[in-house]
Amino acid sequence: MTFSQPLLLRALLALVGSLCLGLFALSGAAAQEPYWADLQPRSALVERGGSLWLNCSTNCPRPERGGLETSLRRNGTQRGLRWLARQLVDIREPEAHPICFFRCARRTLQARGTILTYQRPDRVELELLPTWLPVGENFTLSCRVPGAGPRGSLSVTLLRGAQELSRRRFPGESPRARGAMATFTATARREDHRVNFSCLAELDLRPHGLGLLQNRSTPQELHTFGFPQPNLTVSEASVREGTFVNVTCEARPGAQVLLDGAPEPPPGEPAWLTLTASEEDDERVFICEALLEVKGEILRRNRSLELQVLYRPRLDEAGCPGNWTWLEGMESTLQCWAPGNPPPVVECVRPEGGPAIPLGLPLPISRDHAGTYQCTASNTVGQTTKDVTVMVEYGPVLDQLGCPERRTWLEGTEEVLTCQALGVPPPMVSCIPIGARAQLPVGQLRVTREHAGTYHCVATNLRGSASTNVSITVEYGPSFGEVDCPGAWTWVKGSDHQFSCEADGNPEPVVLCSRAGNSSHGELLFPHRGSHAGQDPAPGLYYCNATNTHGSASKRVTVSAESPPQMDEAGCPSHQTWLEGARAPMLTCRAQGNPTPRVHCSRDGPERPEKPSVSRADAGTFHCVATNSHGSDTRIVTIGVEYRPLVAELVAMPPGSVKPGGNFTLTCRAEGSPPAQYSWRTPPGAPNIGLSGNNSTLSVAGALGSHGGVYECAATNTHGSHALRITVHVTGPWLWIVVGGVAGGALLLASLGGLTYYLQSTACKKGEYNVQEAESSGEAVCLNGSGAGPGAGGGTGAEAGAEGGGAEVYSIQLTST
């Protein structure tokens, strides 16, 4: 179904007009009615490959968006504010469901439709009929209508001329179902000769407004004939074996007859066959066929007959095997079948007695069913007899009677390891060592202790295997070995290892070791007795004796003593002291132990290069390890380096001059090992001088003029002493300054002259000096080279000096007042 463009335009204009009128008429009530979406047509039936216009619309005043969802192919789309028209082309799906939707007021409005396709019954195929068909014979009419549908609207009718033979409908089928097939079985009649048979297919689309679509197959003409069957006779239908039998085949005049196994006779003559009945002829089927030519086509009819031959039973190997082999535990059936006519009765009995086996019935088999059975087959013609042997196979069995698990042999005797197993077929038994040191030879052997152990014996036949372990114990007299009883034994002092002396022998020997030269009540080495239990044995010579039921043996044992390394404070002091500047000693540690231990000492941290004399950098911690074959011992050794004291700093606080009545302190700091003791030299007559607890700090409260002058701090320990000086100036009012200045100037000039002479003659000959020129007079100070650092002076107006041994460097410094 298609729409032309003018028709579509008129439909769209009418739709728009109706919508406008509806909006005006229902404007008051529109707010009260729900919004909807509509799809037209809702249901459509389109021929397969056709096209269709769908119109999707809504009553929503302002839809946000809308569309038409479908999997079908689209050709064109037209749309307005509240409608959408779309053409679908080449529609081939049997069934489709398009969806019209609009988005309105945050809701989705939907309308669903259904599109079905139909396909005309363009092909109606009737299978070919036989060219000629005998009257009374059945034939089948088969009609196929491919592709037509939907199948629920289709019917298939088979026709004999205008007569309806069969009509098939397909109600309730799915709309997607396509194609159909119908069959009908009929019997050929004389009046069917040259009658047309056909098939009619009808697709009824009238419920959809499209009418009835029909198509008919090409008619086929049937040819029937009334040719009678031939006549087949036999002289006797049931005969005994060896009887003569005549078979005759004949038909209507003019027909050619054929008899299976007989020569072909001339047309119109009967065919016949003569034979002597045998077992092979029993149930033989003879076929008599008549052939007649009609209008150039050969027509055939036949008749058959079966001959029954009576013969005595026969028990052959194929039907009744003479030997049966079964597996114990399985379900088996004894079959003994004898050919014969009439069918013979077969029975099997066991002449020697025992459990019977019923013929043809499954039975769980045990070894008791093994034996010989006599089977007899008999019928009205005669009987026959046959012996049937049944062998029941089963896996090997190893029991205590045939294969004892424990055996005891005596070394030096002759024995045979035998194991007998039950089983069918007779099992093969082999034994291999799994804990023994020697393979057992076949037959008799001379026993050695290497034959003792466990042997794994396995019995095997075609039906499986069985195994058991056989333990062989070989007894023999005692003997000593070096491994289990060493001739030279060393005990280590303090260890838990005890002397052990074991003797080889079976039964296990009793071993007793005693010290040489002692009576039977003397000192025992093994086993430990009395007060020696758990103690180390004394070194010396011991005799060990082992005894069991098969004899005795003896051995000499020499015992020696050793010990692991041990270091103590006497051989390796944990704290050692060296003197700076002395010749560098070796760090030695002695250790006790046997064998003599080797001692190695290493320093913690990075190693320092070796020097000929000791420096304080040699101080540190060392790990000393003593080692021998029995272990090791470790000691930590701390090396301390002592050196003579050095006054590193002498400081006045406050720096500079001190006013009369003021306070000042002098602080002295010295380095030395052991720690230095401090002492002071002060100006003569200086009162009220206070010292700290270790004398390192000197303090003055309320300074007087007598507190001015040179102060010396000396540091002393067992290795020497060292001193530094500092000058303290106590200043007053200008009058005192002038008076003091005049007197001091004269004194200064005299002092400078004396000091210059001294430096030139003695002190300054020992080193360098430099003189700093100044506009005013100054004071010269001679300093030790190691004390000429920042602590050499306490500030302006201070003087320092040095005392003590060692290399000295002097300098002169002029300080202004």
Place of tokens 């039936």: 45
The helices-and-strands tally (H runs, E runs) of the chain is 2, 58
Tokens of 34: 């729900």
Q: Is the pLDDT of residue 139 over 90?
A: yes
> How many Cα atoms occupy the beta-carbon half-sphere of 714 within 13 Å?
10
CA 50 to chain centroid, in Å, comes to 62
Q: How far is CA 469 from CA 76, 439, 672, in A?
A: 94, 15, 87
Task: Read off the pLDDT band of 293 (50, 70, 90).
Answer: confident
Tens of pLDDT, residues 685-713: 888 899 998 999 999 999 998 999 999 99
Identity (one letter) of the amino acid at 169? R
Return the closest-CA partner of residue 165 out of 144, 152, 149, 182.
Answer: 182
Task: Read off the pLDDT band of 524 (50, 70, 90).
Answer: low
Return the closest-CA partner of residue 304 out of 221, 393, 234.
Answer: 234
Tokens of 593: 């132990």
Give the 3-state secondary structure of residue 329: coil
How many other CB atoms are found less than 10 A from the CB of residue 602? 10
Tens of pLDDT, residues 714-746: 999 999 999 999 999 998 654 344 444 444 444
Q: What is the mean pLDDT of residues 479-483?
A: 91
Q: What is the mean pLDDT of residues 299-304?
A: 87
Q: Is the pLDDT of residue 251 over 80?
A: yes
Most confident of 1-5, 457-461, 490-494, 574-578: 457-461
Pairing of strands 503-506, 464-480: antiparallel
Q: What is the mean pLDDT of residues 465-473?
A: 93
| pLDDT reported for residue 442 | 75
Tens of pLDDT, residues 10-45: 444 444 444 443 444 344 434 445 899 999 999 999
Using a pLDDT cut of 90, give the percent of the chain over it.
59
Task: Write the DSSP assignment of 151-206 as a string of letters.
Answer: GGGEEEEEEETTEEEEEEE-TT--TT---EEEEEEEE--GGGTTEEEEEEEEEE-G
- Residues 140, 184: contact at Cβ < 8 Å? yes
How many other CB atoms are found less than 10 A from the CB of residue 399? 13
Q: What is the mean pLDDT of residues 405-432?
A: 92
- Residues 457, 431: contact at Cβ < 8 Å? yes
| pLDDT reported for residue 530 | 38
Q: Which residues share a beta bridge with 294?
A: 297
| pLDDT reported for residue 84 | 94
Which stretch of 136-145, 523-532, 675-684 has the lowest confidence by average pLDDT? 523-532
- Residues 346, 412: contact at Cβ < 8 Å? no
Q: Is the pLDDT of residue 592 over 70?
A: yes
Tens of pLDDT, residues 208-228: 889 999 999 999 999 888 778
| pLDDT reported for residue 525 | 67
Task: Read off the pLDDT band of 535 (50, 70, 90).
Answer: low
pTM over 0.85? The answer is: no
Place of tokens 């320093």: 603
Task: Read off the pLDDT band of 132 (50, 70, 90).
Answer: confident
Task: Read off the pLDDT band of 276 (50, 70, 90).
Answer: very high
Q: Is the pLDDT of residue 110 over 50?
A: yes
If one compares 307 and 585, the residue with the highest pLDDT of the two is 307
- Residues 320, 336: contact at Cβ < 8 Å? yes
Using a pLDDT cut of 70, give the percent of the chain over it.
83
Tens of pLDDT, residues 149-178: 999 999 999 999 999 999 999 999 998 999
Return the closest-CA partner of residue 157 out of 121, 194, 205.
Answer: 121
Q: How far is CA 773 from CA 558, 749, 770, in A?
A: 94, 16, 10
How many other CB atoms are found less than 10 A from the CB of residue 153? 25
Q: What is the mean pLDDT of residues 498-508?
A: 88
CA 447 to CA 436: how far, in whole Å? 13
Work out the widest C-alpha separation in the chain, in whole angstroms: 194
Helix (H) or strand (E) holding 602: strand 598-603
Give the 3-state secondary structure of residue 436: coil
| pLDDT reported for residue 296 | 76
CA 453 to CA 440: how far, in whole Å? 11
Q: Where are the beta strands (DSSP E) in 5-136?
A: 37-40, 43-47, 50-58, 65-69, 74-79, 83-91, 95-96, 99-104, 107-112, 114-118, 125-126, 133-134
| pLDDT reported for residue 529 | 42
Tens of pLDDT, residues 356-365: 888 999 999 9
CA 94 to CA 179: how far, in whole Å? 12
| pLDDT reported for residue 735 | 37
Task: Read off the pLDDT band of 811 (50, 70, 90).
Answer: very low
CA 366 to CA 390: how far, in whole Å? 11
Helix (H) or strand (E) holding 471: strand 464-480
Task: Read off the pLDDT band of 471 (50, 70, 90).
Answer: very high
Tokens of 134: 């005998």
Q: What is the mean pLDDT of residues 552-573?
A: 91
| pLDDT reported for residue 774 | 29
Average pLDDT, the chain: 83
| pLDDT reported for residue 91 | 94
| pLDDT reported for residue 246 | 95
Return the closest-CA partner of residue 682 out of 669, 674, 691.
Answer: 691
CA 89 to CA 156: how far, in whole Å? 31
Residues in the chain: 817
Identity (one letter) of the amino acid at 58? T
Q: Is the pLDDT of residue 292 over 90?
A: no
Q: Is the pLDDT of residue 144 over 80?
A: yes
Tens of pLDDT, residues 747-786: 444 444 444 444 344 333 333 333 233 223 333 333 333 3
How many other CB atoms are found less than 10 A from the CB of residue 43? 10
Q: Is the pLDDT of residue 73 over 90?
A: yes
